[in-house]
Structure 1
């Protein structure tokens, strides 16, 4: 993309604003290099990156990048054998921590963010290096005593020597206070000294390290502390050497991880740029543009991003589908140039991964070049006129124009004879259009007002002017050329009607007709816009009413279901209480008639009758006329039915008599009473000849099975078949009589019971049930 065009369209100012949203110096540096991409795949990826970051920002979450530094210069130094300072080492550690924090932040998000998640996957945690640095250097960049045992010992000796020096000097200050300028201990040349009066120099004795400006005070190191100070200096030198050794080791560790560290920095900087683009998009209330490679531009309520949002006027722009060129006419200061710059600037923003200040659904083509000839770029040094300056720029543009180009001409052909300039402007437009480029041009020439009517690929446009207020509205009107308002403005300013009518007499009939046509078009468009606003308002009212009705309907449905549920729960509780009372009564009767030795199966049958007294409550939540099953008295072969006793669906095969039907359930044929069948509809499936036929639930099955005298193998076969019959009959409990005997049959029955999936539990019979010779089984 041409650097001059970036300045002309002020894309560099967008970059300056974008930099303010960066969190790191790495991101700021990368943003300065942002340029519009010209590859479709690259542009789409950039927009997807921004869209994912915008989604995160909408969750009121921001990527944490605190503590991330640009450590690339430090990495370069260690790569060639350099040694880092403690402060530089801690910057490396902080950057590792910042990268790990960003990685954890993204991994905790459960949103679908494939691009950002893939990026953080590339960040290497390097926790071992971070811990090694933190063990040796604190947050302020000071090497810790714990960095090495040797350093701890040296610093311990330093503190001891300093304490001894201070003790001796404190003694001097007490015993020779009259010989000192001030009773303090100070430092000169990294050695502890005392401020001694000039006249007492000889009596104190020692080494003079400095003197005051007046010469009256000498900073002396008494002889008594010279040796200790020497030892102290030696210890300080040893400390520096040990610190250098420690930093050298840390630098060596950092050098080993220089490549992943540099990659981490690159990824973090890139993510900083992506989130900065998202934040900037939110600040301008931007939307994600849909990119295309057909040169289509379409924006609703687009705004210039560099104009105050409180003052900017939004406009609709369309280019590339029905027409490839727009010619904008209208008065000066009407907003033509602003519109021109907005289109070019928004295109550059879209191709740089930035969102554009327009409503959702905007479209942008990916252009290989965006050219603009805007403003008076007259060159005094080259002695070029305004016309020559423009033509020099246009000549350079025409050398590179192709079908993947967007061209913006401001005041095309201006600065020369109007007739020649208009002809030249039309010729230039013809050339650019023939090359299938997208072009928007502004002009003052009235000859170009009719230009769009003679060419299918060109549309006229104008900027609206309010004659009442004598000010432009900055609204762009597509399809309507601009008209002269000189007479209307002059009349509003007080020019006599006589003069105005005299002036009109000099205008040709064709010019008058064109002006009247333009005025008619403006009136028609204004009426159409008012009608649209009224229709839109009615549509909003209708949608609101529809929503209110839907809410009321849903509320009524909820209330109905709650009432059904409440009634069912109430009925269920009443039935449960009745059952509990019946159980108590039955138990009391059993206790009273224990001696009568009632058989267990009679109690089971009584219990079954009690259970069958419970009605089946509806659990269906939404019943509509279309879904309700109609009750059909007579069933026909092929009807779909539900076998209520086992809650299974099947098909009617034939009618046996008035009360009994032969139905197929799965692979089984079953004779069933009509009252146990529920009609479900006509069947669309043909069934094969069933494999098995069994008795229905109306077939009598005893609640006990006597296996006494049977061999174990035969007994188990009978038991297995009996269990199937009992389950189909719906018995909750049955008794198996196996006798006491040798216990083999009882053991076999108990093993069978343990393995059967439909048996919930079992127990030996009570004294009234047959004792250990009977096993009572509870079925699921």
Structure 2
């Protein structure tokens, strides 16, 4: 792609904005390498990936990139058997965790919408959770090797603490001695060269044995290691060396495990950087309110309400533009500051963005082309150092373009032929346009020359366009009008500003009659365009109203058809069940008749036939009783505890458990409870009894509260107050069937944590408890598992 065009169209500013939306240095690296592609399949694949990221964010929100950093240099050193330091190993563990979280996010989004490209990218990602767990077992969040990393390290550090304590005790006894205190500069114990020392005044040096390790800047204080602790310090030094060797062994082991997986983790890093870059493109689409363009490689462009992406959305004036169908070139005329240059840059920059796989700030249905090159000569690039005038700089750019332009190129020319004599400039501009037309490229050029209006009017494949100007306000509207040449507004502007009419009339007389006819024709075209535009807007509004009404009618019809289908299906099901029941009972009666006939021969008694006929009549399903006004009146008197009949269930008896509003009640029918309309219930008459009323049975129902807490914050509380809160919290969690809860007590001195954990150990609802892990709050949180 032409580097000069990229700079002229400010493509680098789009890249910088994209870089700012990446979440990782890996994604930033991918964004910095982005450039437009000349191949349609590559462009379509890029846009499809951006579209998948946009839909993922729509369904699942912002993707998690926490913990994903560029660990490739550490992996390279691990592969070369260099020992990684604890912070580097912790970055590897966090990278593995971040990769796993992002993979789960995309898999979850894939359940909502199809994400074939993102899913394929995640497919080769590896989950080295065992390595992550091993690193976290040995190294804490602050990058320190834990005592639990190995039994040897735990033993050595325990010995270090014991010996250090003994050395301090010995020195503290010296410091507290009255005879020694007067010799000390300060009654304190400090460290020099990893050995315990005390600050002794210079004049008492002879009274102390031992080793001098340091002195103050003034020389008045000597830091002496008394002879009494020399052996203890020696022992500490030996233990420190053993600790260092054990730590190095642990780090070497972790590094070897990391180095064995370095190649796969490096590949994962590159994939995650690409995924971050794709989601950054989605973030840019959201920031620009951009849409997915349709792409082709046959030179067709269609922009609907397109905006320049670097202009504030509230200030940008959208443009509509079509190119490549009926015409391949557009000649744009109009006054300065009317928006011609911005329109050129908008078309060029949006083409570059689409070819880079970025959404464009335009309405749905916009169409862009994949060009083999985009060439732009925009702006005044005169140079004093190179002795180039405005005209010379334009010619230099044009000459370099003409040797590269093909029939698959887009050429953008601003102020074609400007900077020289108008007659020569317009003739040269026409010659350049004809040459580019013969090449078959797509061309958009702006000019001030009126000769080019007539040229475009008489040539096939070329169309006039202009930037709209409001004479009433003397201001441009920045709207691009295709098919309407720019009209000279000099006389109208001068008259509005107050120039005497006599001068304006004299000026009009100096203009040729042909030019006045052209100006009058353009004015008539403009008037017709405005009238057609108003009528089109009215027709469009009516069309939208009709479509809305049609949709509402269609939705209502669909609902009626759906309701009808449900009613028919329900009726068929009821009929099937009734027929099946009647059939079973009829078969039982026929079987009984046959048995009677066999037992009694032909002498079946009349009363037995009558009984069999009655059973057949009873087998016919009776219609479902419908609630009537009388039963509705009775239902108004129903209260909880009443015995009732349910009409829709064939008079089934039950009792009211509770009322759930003004029109429904929950009724107990045997072992089943169901919600029934009050109009469907009829209270049964209660038998009068002299017995004392039976005690009411209380039914307690407990349902899980949707707002039940799963964590309790105790920070700032005293222990007694906190234990009362924890007790109540655990009861609520147990009744709500929570399996795990989080109790936040903070780190502090550890007193609150110790008291809370003692209470958890004795609590009847607590099965087990532990401190929070990385990401759960660490030592500031206790996690309790409930029975």
The two structures have a TM-score, normalised by structure 1, of 0.73
8 A contact 2:582–2:620 mirrored in 1:
no
Displacement of 1:460 in angstroms is 0.8
Segment of structure 1 superposing worse, 118-127 or 132-141:
132-141
Task: Report the Cα offset of residue 567 of structure 1.
Answer: 8.8
Equivalent residues of 2:585, 2:619 under 8 A apart? no
Q: 1:567 to 1:106 in 2, by over 3 A?
A: closer
Closer/same/farther in 2, CA of residues 153 and 458 from structure 1, 3 Å limit: same
Structure-to-structure mapping, 1:150-299, within 5 angstroms: 150-175=152-177, 176-299=180-303
Corresponding residue of 1:49: 49
Q: Assess, with a 3 A threshold, how the Cα gap between structure 1 residues 477 and 565 changes in structure 2: closer, same or farther.
A: same
Q: Do the aligned partners of residues 29 and 558 (structure 1) sit closer, same or farther apart at CA in structure 2, a change above 3 Å counting?
A: closer
1:313 maps to 317
| Selected match of 1:401 from 401, 405, 421 | 405
- Classify the secondary structure of the residue corresponding to 1:419: helix
Partner of 2:360: 356
Q: 2:483 & 2:332 partners in 1: Cα distance?
A: 10
SS in 2 for 1:81: coil
Distance of 2:573 and 2:136 partners within structure 1 = 65
2:424 is aligned, of 410, 420, 425, to 420
Indicate how the Cα distance of structure 1 residues 294 and 558 shifts in structure 2: closer, same or farther if over 3 A, else same: closer
CA contact (8 A) 2:495 2:504 kept: yes
* Higher deviation after alignment, 464-473 or 218-227: 218-227
- Change in Cα spacing, 1:605 to 1:6, as seen in structure 2 (3 Å) is farther
Q: 2:480, 2:447 → 1: CA distance?
A: 14
CA contact (8 A) 1:78 1:251 kept: yes
Cα distance 1:250–1:3, how it changes in 2: closer, same or farther (>3 A)?
Answer: farther
**What does residue 112 of structure 1 align with?**
114
CA pair 545-201 structure 1, distance change in 2 beyond 3 A: same
Partner of 1:15: 15
Residues in 2 aligned to 1:149 and 1:440: alpha-carbon distance in whole angstroms: 77
Pairing of 1:699-738 with structure 2 (within 5 A): none
Give the CA RMSD over aligned residues: 3.4
The answer to whether the Cα contact below 8 Å between 1:403 and 1:436 also exists between their aligned partners in 2 is yes
CA shift for structure 1 position 318:
0.9
Q: What residue number does 2:662 align with?
A: none
Deviation at 1:380, TM superposition (A): 2.0
Deviates more, 1:597-606 or 1:285-294: 597-606
Q: Work out whether residues 329 and 482 of structure 1, in 8 Å CA contact, stay in contact via their aligned partners in 2.
A: yes
Q: Secondary structure at the match of 1:377?
A: coil
SS in 1 for 2:452: helix
Structure 1 spans left out of the alignment, 5+ residues? 590-594, 618-780
1:142 equivalent in structure 2: 144
* Structure 1 residue 336 corresponds to structure 2 residue 340: yes
When residues 226 and 599 of structure 1 are mapped into structure 2, their CA distance, relative to the original with a 3 A threshold, is farther
How many angstroms does 1:123 deviate by?
Answer: 0.5
Structure 2 equivalent of residue 90 of structure 1: 90
Tell me, yes or no, if the aligned pair for 1:579 and 1:610 is still in contact at 8 Å. Answer: no
Contact 1:324 1:439 in 2 (8 A): yes
Match of 1:122 in 2: 124
Q: Which moved more, 1:448-457 or 1:339-348?
A: 448-457
Q: Which residue, out of 437, 440, 446, partners 1:436?
A: 440
Question: What do the CA deviations read for 1:552-611 (whole angstroms, capped 9, x no partner)?
Answer: 55566677778889999999999999999999999xx9xxxxx99998997997588447
Q: TM-score by structure 2 length?
A: 0.73
Separation in 2, partners of 1:560, 1:316: 47
Compared CA separation, residues 427 and 607, structure 1 to 2 (3 A): farther
Structure 2 counterparts to residues 620-699 of structure 1, below 5 A: none
Deviation, 1:306, is: 0.3
CA spacing shift, 1:338–1:220, aligned 2, 3 Å: same
Q: 2:469 & 2:225 partners in 1: Cα distance?
A: 90
Of 559-568 and 227-236, the range deviating more from structure 2: 559-568
Deviations along 1:121-171, whole A, 9 cap, x unmatched?
011112232233223222222122222332222222222221111111211
Structure 2 residue matching 1:491: 3-state secondary structure? helix
Equivalent position of 1:68 in the other structure: 68
Of 286-295 and 3-12, more deviation after overlay is shown by: 3-12
Contact 1:336–1:463 (Cα < 8 Å) also in 2: yes
1:538–1:250 CA distance, 2 compared to 1 (3 A): same
Based on CA coordinates, which of the two structures has the bigger radius of gyration?
1
- Distance of 2:477 and 2:48 partners within structure 1: 36
CA shift in 2, pair 1:142/1:198, >3 Å: same
Q: Does the 8 Å contact 2:589/2:616 carry over to 1?
A: no
Alpha-carbon contact 2:147-2:157 (below 8 Å) kept: yes
Residue 300 of structure 1: aligned partner = 304
Look up the match of 1:323.
Answer: 327
Report the CA distance shift for 1:557/1:126 in structure 2 as closer, same or farther (over 3 A).
Answer: closer
Task: Using the TM superposition, name which of 325-334 and 80-89 deviates more.
Answer: 80-89
The secondary structure found in structure 2 opposite 1:59 is: helix
Q: Deviations over 1:318-366 (max 9, x none)?
A: 1111111111110011000000001110011001110000011111111
The answer as to 2:26 corresponding to 1:26 is: yes
Q: 1:167-205 CA deviation, whole Å, 9 max, x = no partner?
A: 112112211333322222222222222122233322233
Give the distance between the partners of 1:451 and 1:577, measured in 2 at CA: 90
What is the aligned partner in structure 1 of residue 479 from structure 2?
A: 475
- Number of aligned pairs? 617
Q: Secondary structure at the match of 2:291?
A: coil
Q: Cα distance 1:36–1:150, how it changes in 2: closer, same or farther (>3 A)?
A: same
- 1:275-306 Cα deviation digits (max 9, x unpaired): 11011111111111111110111110000000
SS at match of 1:440: strand
Within 2, Cα distance between the matches of 1:385 and 1:407?
22
With over 3 angstroms needed to count, the CA separation of the structure-2 counterparts of 1:129 and 1:457, relative to structure 1, is same
Decide whether aligned partners of structure 1 residues 568 and 252 sit closer, same or farther in structure 2, where only a CA change above 3 A counts. Answer: closer
Contact 2:585 2:616 in 1 (8 A): no
User: Is this contact kept in 2: 1:295–1:438, CA < 8 A?
Assistant: yes
The alpha carbon displacement at 1:454 in A equals 1.9
